[in-house]
Amino acid sequence: MESIIKHLVEITGHRDHDLLNISVITALRQLTNAESARVLDVVSVGQQIFIKPQIVIHEGSVAMADESHAAPTQNDSIEQFPQLKEGVAQQQQVIEHAIDGGKIIWLPIWINEKLHTCLEIYKPANYTANSMEVVNGMLIVYRNFQNLLDYSERDSLTGLLNRKTFDDNFSKVLRNSALQQQASSEAEREEEERRSHEPERQHWLAVLDIDHFKRVNDQFGHLYGDEVLILIANLLRSSFRPSDRLFRFGGEEFVILLRSTSQEDAQMIFDRFRQNVELHHFPQVGTVTISIGYARIDPFEPAVAIVGRADQALYFAKSNGRNRTCYYDALVASGDLHTEVSNDTAEFF
């Protein structure tokens, strides 16, 4: 009983999804004396469902997935796990699959009838009615706490991440980017030289703003204005990868953290989204356009400087016709934007 209470105290003491997931999967592995355990992300892309390991616990060590390479592949398809696929289709709470030397237990985490996470227990040695009763109790606490975290981190209208979660998410992107740059083994250097002709993959921050949004509110009313915001958020979710981060900063302004891609691809991705919005029919309102400004994320610079550059690119797009996608460095290179270094700070004008 003492160990159960200790686990519950640790689980409910976190305000971060990753730490919460590590705590709960560690607790489940210890309670069932399993050989290993994983937290799996359940990712929907169109009509396909992919299963991607997020956290792996094996022999007491914890490994986190590299989110910079989080695009799902066919090897991650739920089709590779027919028993899991069938259980998910039936919205089962516990899914069992017998294997040589034991079994795999999958515990889908259903929140508001949506599935984004599945816990996996591999070859549990202590799999009894009593142990599973304790596991089920912990999962109830886990689901409730996930709901509380989601409620505090999400924008109430669009369901996107809210502004107060931006710093934590941005710090994770910087941390991943810095770790990538610090990887310096001989094998990695040789691989980099071999692929030197390939475009460099980096992280990007974009700020987008709905053009003439005040006119929408004034002409059609705030109810239709809110519907435009919700539909823009839906288009964002369907257009970007689960590893990217989408925020509503307030009003008609949104921010995107785009992970691990080349500048050419970043331009194409942002511009394609801008065109998708322009082609989308918004009920009553009709056509809506957006302007986008984006900048490269330097892991050694503060968030405020990078957001400031993206804002400068957005301001240029808004001031020069709207319905445009502008890259900060390209604007500086062309002379459309200028920077002046003064007192170790950059001034924009």
What residues are annotated to the active site?
Answer: 252
User: CB–CB of 214/224 below 8 Å?
Assistant: no
**With the C-alpha atoms ordered 291, 297, 303, 309, is the resulting torsion angle positive or negative?**
negative
**Non-local CB neighbours of 263 within 8 Å, separated by 6+ positions:** 199, 200, 202, 204, 296, 327
Strand stretches in the chain, DSSP E: 34-45, 48-58, 61-64, 95-99, 102-111, 114-124, 161-162, 202-210, 245-250, 253-261, 290-296, 325-327, 339-342, 345-348
What are the φ/ψ torsions at residue 62 (nearest 5 degrees)?
A: -115, 130
User: CB–CB of 245/165 below 8 Å?
Assistant: no
Rounded to the nearest 10 degrees, how much is the dihedral formed by the CA atoms of 272, 207, 234, 66? Answer: 90
CA-CA distance, 206 to 78, in Å (whole number)? Answer: 32
User: CB–CB of 323/212 below 8 Å?
Assistant: no
CA-CA distance, 346 to 342, in Å (whole number)? Answer: 6
CA-CA distance, 68 to 258, in Å (whole number)? Answer: 10
Which pair of tokens denotes residue 72? 């799902």
Closest CA to 254 of 154, 316, 329, 163: 163
- Residue 335, by phi and psi: left (phi above 0), alpha (psi -120 to 50) or beta? left
DSSP state of 298: -
Q: What's the gap between Cα 87 and its chain centre?
A: 25
